[in-house]
Amino acid sequence: MRSLSRYLPILDWGRSYNSAVLTNDLVAAGIVTIMLIPQSLAYAMLAGLPPEIGLYASILPIIAYALFGTSRTLAVGPVAVISLMTLTAASSVAVPGSAEFIAAALVLALLSGAMLMLMGVLKLGFLANLLSHPVVSGFITASGIIIATSQLKSILGVSASGEAMPELVSSLVANIGETNLPTLAIGVLSVAFLFWVRKGLKPLLMRFGIPPRAADLTAKAGPIAAVAASTLAVVAFGLEDAGVKVVGAIPQSLPPFTVPLFDAALWQQLAVPALLLSIIGFVESVSVAQTLAAKKRQRIDPDQELIGLGAANVAASFTGGYPVTGGFARSVVNFDAGAETPAAGAFTAVGIAVAALFLTPLLHSLPIATLAATIIVAVLSLVEFKTLRTVWHYSRADFAAMAATILVTLLLGVEPGVMAGVGLSLALFLWRSSRPHAAIVGRVPETGHFRNVLRHKVITDPRVVTIRIDESLTYLNARWLEEFVLEEVADHPQVEHLVLMCSAVNAIDASALESLEAINHRLSDAGVRLHLSEVKGPVMDALERSHFLAELTGRVFLSQDEAFSTLVKMAHDPPQGSQDPYLARGLI
């Protein structure tokens, strides 16, 4: 049963499900459903798809995640960044809105889901660590700017296109003369109202005595009020005849059963975009899930999250949807509303299904400008220029990677931005690993601790030099270690013993072992003995399987304090006679 619950977490949390938990989940589901209806419509249109596809992508995928996901409060469905990436990828093979475009979106969902599930089965959840947080933050910030800019065409009521900022801006400027004033009024008022709802409605409600939690959840349902008011305005004033574009007829139906098109050439064209989409979707989702889980002292399993998200995307591909992932805003609302288990997501799916069956006629006159305003307000919360300043002060290298990701995404588009982000994350990791921190250390007076001679007043001896290495030794830094050690020996002409303090070394690979052997021989030729101290058990086990220890000119000390005391005494009081000093003292 335990092995089965590893892949079906519902068997774990379902055992303790009771009426109190059911009540909390139902309340959370009702609130998230209200929020998710306009969001689903808006994000589908952002992806270049008919609005009802956003509803379809918010039904069975949520249920699939509830069965296989490990987060108790993550809300899965269409999100802004994934919608933009879907538009970019599918636009490369078909015209947005066409049947071929919809087919491409289904294939993207299937490919992404299959890739995620395969990575989960192979326990590749650690791959999320390949993207550093500054790079992910930079990509999301740039994507937010692109998304907000792309929605200005709907606010103005003009035509515009482009996947990157230069094309978008030039297209908007070229068509700004065609601005529809009623559309502009609706768009501007909706944006202003939604921004005010985010910042001003909660304090106002609290002044009227409404509890903080209820006031907060009411404020987060603000988009529903914007949808209702703008729809009524269109109907009351006949604004559709004045050129205001509306959503139009939305089919009253549950998601259809769809079979993704099997076309080898199409799959090959969409394979790389699907992989990039999977990585970004997983990183975004697992970050939200871990943040919310930590607040309740829960934990998630990244490998099982891959399976859960993969199942959600596969479900989307067979029910007329498009790629989905865990969304930040709706997950926070789900958490704040009191959701206790993934069942809240399943109840949300039921609510969306009811809306798809019975409420879609009410959305016929919903202005597209209002949906654009919903997207703009949502994505601008993702823009984090403040993070740039923070990262600049903390790490210039991380700042360079983050800034480069933002620029590449803005100037060239989403897919180049993702690839640049992945490349920069790996390059930054390799650069840091190839230049590990190392220091000459000495003993802190009256203690057994050893610290950097450049930072502390410590006791040293010119005949004994200790180098503390603060990184595992691999092929990336093997040559660097050789050069560093030999430079330090050259700078200390009186040295007789050199100790490598390995307290921070968790592994030594074959390339690094060859470098240690080379260091040992070259120091021996120079009359210097090489020693190791504080070697960890697994590292020692690996060294014992080689011939390095047999050829080592010095010895391996249990502690750096023992090494320093022994070698200083030996350097100043060498044994008499021709016998090797180590043999004479029983040190080997």
Residue 576: its pLDDT value, please?
A: 53
Q: What does the DSSP 8-state code read for residue 13?
A: H
Beta carbons of 130 and 221 less than 8 angstroms apart = no
Reported as a single tens digit per residue, the pLDDT across 387-402 is: 888 889 998 888 888 8
**Six-digit token pair at 181?**
């004033």
Residue 137: its pLDDT value, please?
A: 84
Reported as a single tens digit per residue, the pLDDT across 507-533 is: 999 999 999 999 999 999 999 999 999
**Six-digit token pair at 421?**
């982000």
Is residue 577 predicted with pLDDT exceeding 80? no
Q: Name residues whose C-beta falls within 8 Å of residue 25's C-beta, 6 or more positions apart in sequence.
A: 339, 340, 341, 343, 344, 347
Q: How far apart are the first and last CA of the chain?
A: 54
Question: How many other CB atoms are there within 10 angstroms of residue 261's CB atom?
Answer: 14
Q: Percent of the chain at pLDDT above 70?
A: 96
Which residue spans of the chain are classified as CATH 3.30.750.24?
438-584
Predicted model pTM: 0.78
Beta strand pairing status for 325-326 and 76-77? antiparallel
Confidence of residue 2 (pLDDT cuts 50, 70, 90): low
Quote the crossing angle between the two packed helices 222-237 and 212-220, to the nearest 10°: 40
Read off the pLDDT of each residue in 485-499 and give the average, rounded to a whole number. Answer: 93
Is residue 224 predicted with pLDDT exceeding 80? yes
Confidence of residue 574 (pLDDT cuts 50, 70, 90): low
**Six-digit token pair at 315?**
């479900």
Angle, alpha carbons 266-272-273 (nearest 5°): 85
Q: H or E stretch including 486?
A: helix 478-491
CB-based burial, 550-569: b 16+ in 10 Å, e otherwise:
eebbbbbbeebbebbebbbe
The span from the CA of 406 to the CA of 392, in Å, is 14
Q: Percent of the chain at pLDDT above 90?
A: 55
SS3 label, residue 258 = coil
The span from the CA of 119 to the CA of 62, in Å, is 20
Is residue 3 predicted with pLDDT exceeding 70? no
Reported as a single tens digit per residue, the pLDDT across 420-470 is: 877 887 888 888 888 888 999 999 998 999 999 999 999 999 999 999 999
Q: For residues 383, 384, 386 and 392, what is the CA-based torsion angle, rounded to 10 degrees?
A: -130
Beta bridge partners of 498: 465, 530
Is residue 586 predicted with pLDDT exceeding 50? no
The span from the CA of 422 to the CA of 551, in Å, is 42
Residue 575: its pLDDT value, please?
A: 57
Reported as a single tens digit per residue, the pLDDT across 334-346 is: 887 788 888 998 9
Beta carbons of 86 and 97 less than 8 angstroms apart = no
Residue 139: its pLDDT value, please?
A: 85
Residue 107: its pLDDT value, please?
A: 97
Read off the pLDDT of each residue in 470-481 and give the average, rounded to a whole number. Answer: 91
Name, of 52-56, 72-76, 287-291, the range with top average pLDDT. 52-56
Measured CA to CA in angstroms, residue 17 lies from 13, 106, 344, 352 at distances of: 7, 35, 12, 23
**Six-digit token pair at 564?**
């320093």
Q: What does the DSSP 8-state code read for residue 200?
A: I
Name the one residue in this structure whose structure tokens are 């490990």: 70
Question: How many other CB atoms are there within 10 angstroms of residue 316's CB atom?
Answer: 34
Q: Name residues whose C-beta falls within 8 Å of residue 400's C-beta, 6 or more positions apart in sequence.
A: none
Measured CA to CA in angstroms, residue 61 lies from 105, 124, 136, 403, 503 at distances of: 15, 22, 25, 35, 48
Q: Is the dihedral of CA 556, 561, 564, 566 positive or negative?
A: negative
Q: Which CATH code for domain 438-584?
A: 3.30.750.24
